[in-house]
Amino acid sequence: MASWPLGGQPPVRPSSSLRLDRLSVDALVAPLLLIGLWQLLCLTGVFPPQVLVAPSAVARTLQEMALTGELQRHLGDSLRRLLLGFAIGAFAGMAFGATIALSRLAEAVLSPLFLALWQVPVIAFVPIMVMFLGIDEPFKLAVVAIAAFFPMALATFDGIRGVPKSWFEVAKVYRLSLLRLIRHILLPATVPAVLTGLRISLTRAWVVLVAAELLAADSGLGQMMEMGRQLFQIDVVLAGVIVTGLVGFFLDRGARWVESHATRWKSA
């Protein structure tokens, strides 16, 4: 048996639940300090109420909008557009990334244009898309799909190109069909890169969607904030900012959780 100095007991390591509780408490420090500073600035009158609304007033506004169902309506419209547009863009991005990764000809023909368009902010496409699609649902879905397409294509391309060439040589020796090659070699090998691309695409699509709704939309969180700005309802604007940040935070955390559990086999 191991002996401990001074006849004491061996140190007790904190359990995982206690560490998680400590991390949860630590994560609340910065938001609470920010809310406290925000409330203090409102009480001291550094900024007039027309410019900065107290957090208590924003909380009341959120409660009222939730009771009337207005908040749920705008949030539901935004999330529906996000999920549908993201599914379209992510699937197209994976297909495109796989194509240019597996075909040298496709890479030579398509990658220069792809990389050039990748450097253009998605919001820069908004005026053109409004001209062709209007401000109805197809426009907002297209914005989300474009935002998700590029990171997903790059992640898929990098994942496939990261597969060792010897694996393809083994597949050639065993004469694996394309479907079996994808199922037994490419999919398992590219899961980490693809999941990272999905997480980045999802959060990027959410930011771009809210920005697009600010510019041209008839519903959604972005439109809610824009209407609040036009009516000088700063509490509504700040309420939209808080909800947008929380949704983005939970989307990222949820995607990270899926990513960590789906790639647990790598550390096994």
Predicted confidence at residue 137, as pLDDT, reads: 86
pLDDT value for 152: 92
Each residue's pLDDT tens digit, 126-162 = 888 888 888 788 888 999 999 999 999 999 888 888 7
For residue 13, the model assigns a pLDDT of 52
Question: Do 209 and 85 contact (CB within 8 A), yes or no?
Answer: yes
3-state secondary structure of 241: helix
User: Within 45-103, where are the H helices?
Assistant: 55-68, 70-102
**pLDDT on residue 27:** 67
pLDDT of 265 over the 80 cut: no
Q: 48 vs 192, which has greater pLDDT?
A: 192
- Quote the radius of gyration of the chain (alpha carbons, Å): 25
| Single-letter residue type at 1 | M
Angle ∠(178,180,185) on CA atoms, nearest 5: 100
Distance of CA 265 to the CA centre of its chain: 24
CB atoms near residue 195 (< 10 Å): 20
Q: Which of 202, 207, 197, 190 is nearest to 244 (CA)?
A: 207
Q: Which of 18-22, 99-103, 135-139, 208-212 bottoms out in mean pLDDT, i.e. has the lowest? A: 18-22
Whether residue 88 is predicted with pLDDT greater than 80 in this model: the reply is yes
pLDDT in tens, 47-87: 777 777 888 888 999 999 999 999 999 999 999 999 999 99
Evaluate if residue 3 carries a pLDDT over 60.
Answer: no
Per the model's pLDDT, the better-predicted residue between 183 and 235 turns out to be: 235
User: Percent of the chain having pLDDT more than 70?
Assistant: 85
Kindly indicate the confidence band of residue 266, based on its pLDDT and cuts at 50, 70 and 90.
Answer: low
Q: Is the distance from CB of 92 to CB of 145 less than 8 angstroms?
A: yes
Least confident stretch, 93-97, 185-189, 234-238: 185-189
- Domains of the chain, first to last: 70-267 (1.10.3720.10)
pLDDT recorded at residue 1: 46
Model pLDDT for residues 100-121, shown as the tens digit of each residue: 988 889 889 888 899 888 888 8
The closest of 199, 104, 212, 116 to 152, measured between CA atoms, is: 199
Q: What's the pTM?
A: 0.79
